[in-house]
Chains A and B, each alone.
Chain A
């Protein structure tokens, strides 16, 4: 069986959620199928301008075909059209114009999909909101599998996507909440789809003591890992944490790992480490009392899964339905909607070691049942088998 993974960007240095997700799944499916990746030459997700050389290359044993973008994205033009389609009266043509601006606008990629349709058994498209998925699925609907990686943001309500969600042969969802959201929006219950997600590999050894010494954090700390951004709810987290510090007599610290787009408050108990290696990240996570995930929109939070895999409980933002649902299903995390809830849940997790231990164990169990790579591979193979067996 030959599979084409179609994604907006692809490369070892590309760490975007959907792109990384695509690379990991492609590398895993290589064991079972002939896998090829169709992508653009883009590296930068703001402009999508050509960066990688055109043509074919091999990344971790996978053939990658890159196609040029017709033109880079103009953020100003994109902003204007986004304003029109989100929350204003508009027509379908405006939405299609928005999609063109959203990009990556690579007509050669779509042309290749059309021309070489018979070379592949299935095309697996990642991220519903980009040009390649929309027009790619329209080009080969009867061979397309969509991994929507959808969040609860405004553009999912666009008309063009309602129609798009009824087109593919099958879906691979990241979470139960994502499936419910898409089915509610487009009434596409008749389209086959499984909740799969992505697998995580956790190192067996951690250098936590080394990490503590290096960053001079001898005491207890909680951790946030990810982009430090307003969209990720980090400003609210800083506000809540500083309020909590005033009220609570504790020397707990907040450790932040990841690139920042926000001004981090200068406070002795907020420690910003910047972007770290995977090894250091896991060491930091291992030493933390629990993980805080303040993001409003997540299709699947890999860091949350990593925390559970390591037996760490999570305190998540309840306004993110996916995180809330996962906390409830796993019994391994609390969630908050306001400062009162944040403070109480924080208090419970910080001061009860027993509770942390039990929730950590629950998280590990949940992870082992749903998110080890063996489970993920089985789910993908089962879906492909069912697609093969279905009547023509």
Chain B
């Protein structure tokens, strides 16, 4: 079927992920995958950061550092070793005297341009962040104001409720006193009735005599 599908498992490059086929544990494999992707991501970000660095132009390299083409590494090393003592002389013969100075200035110029660009970029990003922050702040303030209004209203309600309950207690006390007075008056009236009854009886007996 597929050229890569034909690989045998023992040859299979699982990217340094250990798999215990006898006691397969998905959680463990996923941990390994996560660690590997995290590490990869860190490397990538490090690479990106280093891409921003200013690299000297390859033409600036002295012959001893040049890594050109298909020359076998051993022969290359040997040649470099052989030519090392003559490298200042070669430079002097091959390059004009001011060449190194010019190239240094060019490098510095490129660095400055890159710094300017990065600084502009940073300023732009900062402005955006500021705008977002201020928008977020104004929204949050609005919400806080709304919440504060609700809270004030709730506070007013609580005050009113407090007054109301106080008034109810006063009214209840008054009613209780009133009730007691009425009870006493009823008792007095009952006694009056009893007295009038006994008088009535006495008068009746008198009349009948």
Give me the interface of A with B, judged by CB distance under 8 Å.
89, 218-220, 248-252, 327-328, 330-335, 338, 340-341, 344-345, 347-348, 350-355, 358-359, 362
Contact = CB atoms under 8 A, between A and B. Distances in A.
A250 B4 contact: yes
A110 B203 CA distance: 79
Given A89-B143, A249-B4, A341-B37, A351 B12 contact: yes
Contacts of B5: 220, 250, 350-351, 353
A348 B26 contact: no
Which size class do B's interface residues fall under? Answer: 20 to 34
21 contacts: A89-B143, A219-B1, A251-B2, A252-B2, A331-B25, A332-B26, A333-B26, A335-B30, A340-B36, A340-B41, A341-B33, A344-B17, A344-B33, A347-B14, A347-B15, A348-B29, A350-B4, A351-B12, A353-B5, A354-B21, A355-B9
Contacts, number: 80
Contact of A348 (B14, B21, B27): B14
Contacts of B102: none
B12 A344 contact: no
Interface in B4-48: 4-5, 7, 9, 12-15, 17, 19, 21, 24-27, 29-30, 33-34, 36-37, 40-41
B3 interface: yes
Contacts of A352: 9, 12, 14, 19
Contacts of A218: 1
Interface string B152-182: 0000000000000000000000000000000
A220 B19 CA distance: 23
B129 interface: no
Instruction: Give the interface SS of chain B, mostly helix, strand, loop or mixed.
Output: loop
B37 A328 contact: no
B33, B34, B36, B40: most-surrounded residue (chain A CB, <10 A): B33
Contacts of A335: 30
Given A348-B15, A350-B4, 17 more contacts: A219-B2, A220-B1, A249-B3, A250-B4, A251-B3, A252-B2, A331-B26, A333-B26, A335-B30, A338-B37, A344-B17, A344-B37, A345-B33, A348-B33, A352-B12, A352-B19, A355-B21
B146 A89 contact: yes
Contacts of B3: 249-251
A344 B9 contact: no
A353 B30 contact: no
A338 B36 CA distance: 12
Nearest to B17: A348
Contacts of A338: 37
B2 A358 contact: no
Given A220-B1, A335-B30, A340 B40 contact: yes
Contacts of A251: 2-3
B4 to A, nearest CB: 5
